[in-house]
Amino acid sequence: MNLFRAIFSNSSGILFSRITGMIRDMMTASILGVNIYSDIFFVAFQLPNLFRRIFGEGAFTQTFIPAFTRVKQKILFSGAIFNKLLIAVSILTILVFIFDSEVTKLIASGFSDQTVEEAKIFVVINFLYLPLIFIVTYFSSVLHYREHFATTAYSTALLNISLIISLVLSKGNTEREIVFALSYGVVAGGIAQIIAHLIALKLTNMNKFAIGGIFKWHRFDEVKHENKSFFNKFFLSMWGGSTTQISSFLDTVIASFLSTGAISYLYFANRLFQFPLAIFALAVSMAIFPRISKYIKSHRQEMAIEMLKKGFWILLYLLTISTIIGVIFAEKIIELLFERGNFNSSDKLETAQVLIYYLLGLTIYGIAKLFSLWLYAHEKAIETAKISTYSLIIKIIFSFLFLSSIGGSMGASGLALSTTLSSLALLIFTINEFGWDKFYKIIKNIELIRFIIILFILISLLLEFK
């Protein structure tokens, strides 16, 4: 598949999904508002969403595709991986059902005992999304190997549509009933995504690779060595690829100690931050990663570097322009999207401030994730795990610094700023492992001068327009 066609397939699908997600968030802000029940729902959805991102955008895909590319008995290999991980995910889900109060306290330590009792049922319902989205992620990884991206990119919209329907049907009910409707909508959205991927697998003739080996338990010993190698890298990659999600999870935990609404401000601002990140950074990364992996496995390093270089310049332009527009018009964007119903002007100002601090790290984080693909394609799981650990430590240090009297108690904005600074550390460590000499060759280009000129003109025009 042509690179730009693959990127367009990804970005258009993600754009559609993000637009439906924005409609969902606008309706949530208007119908549910910013209150203890909105905080409860965002907390309840946080944990399965954490694991979704770990599987979907991190450890599983980045470990599975290089291994799947290399292994000869692909059907047996994928079947064995699916069975083992589905069993593990199912056990984790059962444990959440059993220890619902303890899990709720873990993810929202600042909640009172009464609020924890209120929230635990929603945590349990939302966690049913985890085994569903693992199946979706597994199916999408097989499709990505085939360089079919559209289904995965567009299918997230099914979750958003399910939640929109839940909001429409529950409008006018109590806040508690609205959160119940949203929670069941999450489960319905996961089921719809599985169905969409099953259809895509059938149409692309990849169903035999995805499900053909699931029931061949008696032959799994034939790929025992490949499986062991996969899981050794997977657990390291799970840590290396998930620290950003863990960082977001920690923000929710810390924000539960702040004033009511802090969790919601972080949620709405992060959703806007994720919009250009997903449309551009995720779309480009998903499009080039399978190809870079194949080039590296066939010892075509120069072609892999050239592919990475194309991705770098595309992202540098798109993410930087998004940052400038977002920072200059942050309040107007929040006002346009959310300031209605139960979302007031005070909520707008708080959310806009958080958004600005997030956006300062947009380009930095997107470029860091792009170069981390090179490390994953070379199966450098240990190195990526170390880099991510250093970044997370820096995030935690700055989080507490900005929430202390030393940092002026910046509240939710401090958590967003600490995320940006940890992204900068992530980029520096990643480029260092990639190689500064190779990085300089990528940026030492006439394109850099053109990029600076275009940014200067854009900033001048936008400030005039404002």
pLDDT digits (tens, 9 = 90+) for 185-213: 999 999 999 999 999 999 998 888 888 87
Q: How far apart (Å, rounded) are the C-alpha atoms in residues 360 and 208?
A: 45
What's the average model confidence in pLDDT over 367-388? Answer: 85
Residue 371 sits at the vertex; the CA angle it makes with 370 and 372, to the nearest 5 degrees, is 90
Averaged confidence pLDDT in the chain: 85
Q: Which has the minimum average pLDDT: 91-95, 109-113, 165-169? A: 109-113
pLDDT at 18: 81
pLDDT for 164 beyond 50: yes
Query: Which pTM was predicted?
Result: 0.71
DSSP 8-state class, residue 221? G
Helix axes 262-276, 36-57, angle to 10 degrees: 40
pLDDT for 123 beyond 80: yes
Residues 6 or more apart whose CB falls under 8 angstroms from that of 76 comprise 213, 216, 219, 220, 222, 223
What's the average model confidence in pLDDT over 246-263? Answer: 78
Q: DSSP labels for 74-93?
A: HHHHHHHHHHHHHHHHHHHH
Q: How far apart (Å, rounded) are the C-alpha atoms in residues 417 and 298?
A: 41
Q: Which has the minimum average pLDDT: 84-88, 136-140, 337-341? A: 337-341
Query: What is the residue whose two structure tokens read 């009910």?
Result: 173
What's the average model confidence in pLDDT over 397-414? Answer: 75
Residues in the chain: 466
Query: What is the residue whose two structure tokens read 């108690």?
Result: 409
DSSP 8-state class, residue 206? -
Domain span including residue 25: 3-465
The C-alpha R_g of the chain, in whole angstroms, comes to: 22
Residues 6 or more apart whose CB falls under 8 angstroms from that of 12 comprise 153
Centre a 10 Å sphere on the Cβ of residue 148 and count the other Cβ atoms it contains: 19
pLDDT digits (tens, 9 = 90+) for 14-32: 788 888 988 888 888 888 8
Structure tokens at 238: 């799970």
Instruction: Check residues 319 and 59 and name the one with the higher pLDDT.
Output: 319
pLDDT at 91: 93
- Asked if 102 contacts 116 with a C-beta cutoff of 8 angstroms, the reply is no
Quote the number of domains for the chain.
1
Identify which of 146, 173, 458 has the alpha carbon closest to the alpha carbon of residue 328.
Answer: 458
pLDDT at 361: 93
Q: Find how far residue 1's CA is from the centre of its chain.
A: 25
Q: How far apart (Å, rounded) are the C-alpha atoms in residues 70 and 64?
A: 10
pLDDT at 447: 78
Cα 397 to Cα 198, 356, 360, 414, distances in angstroms: 44, 20, 19, 11
Cα 237 to Cα 16, 230, 233, 263, 427, distances in angstroms: 29, 10, 6, 28, 17
Local structure of 444: helix, strand or coil: coil
What's the average model confidence in pLDDT over 121-125? Answer: 91
Structure tokens at 441: 């060759």
Cα 315 to Cα 183, 277, 304, 367, distances in angstroms: 35, 9, 17, 7
Residues 6 or more apart whose CB falls under 8 angstroms from that of 443 comprise 312
pLDDT at 417: 92
Spell out the alpha helix ranges (H) of 108-261.
113-127, 129-145, 150-170, 175-203, 207-211, 224-240, 243-255
pLDDT at 318: 92
pLDDT for 55 beyond 80: no
Helix axes 436-443, 412-434, angle to 10 degrees: 100
pLDDT at 347: 86
Q: DSSP labels for 3-69?
A: HHHHHHHHHHHHHHHHHHHHHHHHHHHHHT-SSHHHHHHHHHHHHHHHHHHHHHHTHHHHHHHHHHH
Local structure of 448: helix, strand or coil: helix
Q: Predicted confidence band at 4 (pLDDT cuts at 50, 70, 90)?
A: low
pLDDT at 63: 79
